[in-house]
């Protein structure tokens, strides 16, 4: 069975919104860029190299599809354009980015995707999708890059829904710029 690996940039106050700057109109968008480091860059390249597909929510898909198809080369652009991309959306009518496929149902279609042959599936960002994946216990690994910044509010992965989820720390690494790389396995 394939594993679903979620990877997120997250602030100390739990916000995952607008790490790159223009994904949403958040007043503090771009908070992640202030902590650029070769180790975190290599971690993201290695993470992408270790999977066979991407699973994205509609908003993240649209942001990525607006940028990555025009990029080539390197250890990131070519793989992200080549890999199969599954976008979960009830409203998206077509997905034109190369190798993109629309899934309509998290519980059914994503669970069925996990049962297909192939390697692991990586989820970038996609907070709304990740919340649904968490709710349906479809996540096999949660990777957080915790940034030493608080931005006072915004979209969070863990809302006040009173749903108990437990995780076991698989690996951690501290980067000398204050970023923590944390890898968790859900306890079911």
DSSP string over 135-147: HTT--SEEEEEEE
The pTM assigned to this predicted structure is 0.95
Q: What is the mean pLDDT of residues 153-157?
A: 89
Question: Which superfamily is assigned to 13-177 in CATH?
Answer: Dihydrofolate Reductase, subunit A (3.40.430.10)
Return d(Cα 28, Cα 32) in angstroms, integer: 10
R_g over Cα of the chain: 16
Instruction: Give the pLDDT band of residue 23 (cuts 50, 70, 90).
Output: confident
Instruction: Give the pLDDT band of residue 7 (cuts 50, 70, 90).
Output: very high
């Amino acid at each position: 069975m394939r594993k679903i690996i979620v990877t997120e940039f997250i602030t100390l106050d739990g916000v995952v919104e607008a790490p790159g700057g223009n994904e949403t109109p958040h007043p503090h968008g771009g908070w992640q860029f202030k902590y650029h480091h070769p180790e975190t860059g290599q971690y993201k390249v290695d993470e992408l190299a270790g999977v066979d597909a991407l699973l994205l929510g509609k908003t993240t898909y649209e942001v990525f599809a607006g940028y990555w198809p025009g990029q080539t080369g390197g250890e990131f652009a070519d793989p992200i354009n080549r890999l199969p991309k599954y976008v979960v959306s009830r409203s998206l009518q077509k997905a034109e980015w190369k190798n993109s496929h629309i899934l309509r149902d998290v519980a059914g279609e994503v669970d069925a995707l996990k049962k297909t042959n192939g390697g692991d599936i990586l989820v970038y960002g996609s907070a709304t999708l990740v919340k649904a994946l968490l709710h349906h216990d479809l996540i096999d690994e949660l990777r957080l890059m915790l940034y030493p910044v608080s931005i006072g509010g915004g979209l969070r992965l863990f809302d006040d829904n009173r749903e108990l989820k437990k995780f076991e720390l698989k690996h951690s690494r501290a980067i000398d710029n204050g970023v923590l790389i944390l890898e968790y396995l859900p306890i079911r």
